[in-house]
């Protein structure tokens, strides 16, 4: 238990079911982060600066999780495509605030699937609203319920962090999305692509902080996946620097 007190705190944005008014998130995010040395904290979707600022002040890193919703196209100046999925304003707004607050504090940021799309929009980019109907020669990017299966190939730009982590410039990933990056946001550099040209990973090389986004789900089956483990290890390595420099939090006073 003493060792857990020294683990860096990682905030993870949750999902939201508006019908049942439930916050929720698959346990694989916590498994991957805790198994990699972090102390994961699931963040309820309260898109209020007064709530998120003091919370982010206590964090050492942020993970933008996937979602079964789509970023509102009005956020990037587009009308809704007929195959646009559910839009959850509170998830969009919470992630946008987390991105802003993490950047202000220089916190490492790992963006996964929807999280990558939210990051791109927050940086002024746009999205392909439905890959199947908008990308010529599109492959299947939403593989269904077998979440751990690697279902398509990606090509990785050599000499990049992702290539170093993968140990190759060609590998396979799982896939659970129908949207993707269209126009890149500010300072985001693509480093991996699917065979149909869809961007699969980005980095921010212009920032002093560690910012990395992937379109697949490395948290699923992370323990046995030769690429997922290094991704979370690299994130936690970056987080450790922030954690080590953070002032110690005083123990609660008891009378």
What one-character-per-residue DSSP string does the chain give?
-HHHHTSPEEEEE-EEETTTTEEE--THHHHHHHHTT-EEEEEP----HHHHHHHHTT-SEEEE---SS---GGGGT-PPPTT-----HHHHHHHHHHHHHHHHHT--EEEETHHHHHHHHHTT--EES-HHHHSTT----B--S-TTS--EEEEE-TTSHHHHHHTSSEEEE--B-S-EESSPPTT-EEEEEETTS-EEEEE-SSSSS-EEEESS-TTTTGGG-TTHHHHHHHHHHHHHHHHHHSPPPPPPP--
Cα–Cα distance, 86 to 71 (Å, whole number): 9
The token pair that represents 120 in the structure block: 């791109």
Catalytic residue positions?
113, 217, 219
């Amino acid at each position: 238990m003493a060792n857990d007190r020294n683990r860096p705190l990682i905030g993870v944005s949750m999902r939201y079911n508006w019908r049942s008014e439930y916050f929720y998130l698959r346990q694989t995010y916590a498994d991957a982060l805790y198994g990699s040395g972090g102390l994961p904290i699931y963040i309820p979707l309260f898109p209020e600066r007064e709530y998120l600022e003091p919370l982010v002040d206590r964090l050492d890193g942020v993970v933008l999780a996937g979602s079964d919703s789509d970023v509102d196209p009005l956020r990037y100046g587009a009308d809704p495509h007929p195959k646009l999925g559910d839009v959850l304003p509170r998830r969009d707004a919470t992630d946008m605030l987390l991105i802003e607050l993490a950047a202000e504090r220089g916190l490492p940021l790992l963006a996964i699937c929807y999280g990558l799309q939210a990051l791109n929009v927050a940086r002024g980019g746009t999205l392909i609203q439905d890959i199947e109907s908008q990308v010529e020669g599109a492959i299947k990017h939403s593989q269904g319920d077998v979440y751990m299966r690697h279902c398509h190939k990606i090509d990785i730009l050599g000499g990049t962090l992702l290539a170093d982590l993968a140990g190759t410039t060609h590998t396979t990933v799982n896939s659970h999305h129908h949207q993707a990056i269209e126009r890149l946001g500010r300072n985001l550099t693509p480093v991996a692509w699917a065979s149909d040209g869809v961007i699969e990973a980005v980095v921010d090389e212009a920032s002093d902080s560690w910012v990395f986004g992937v379109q697949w789900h490395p948290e699923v089956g992370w323990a046995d996946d030769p690429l997922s483990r290094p991704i979370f290890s690299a994130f936690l390595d970056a987080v450790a620097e922030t954690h080590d420099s953070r002032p110690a939090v005083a123990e609660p006073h008891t009378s």
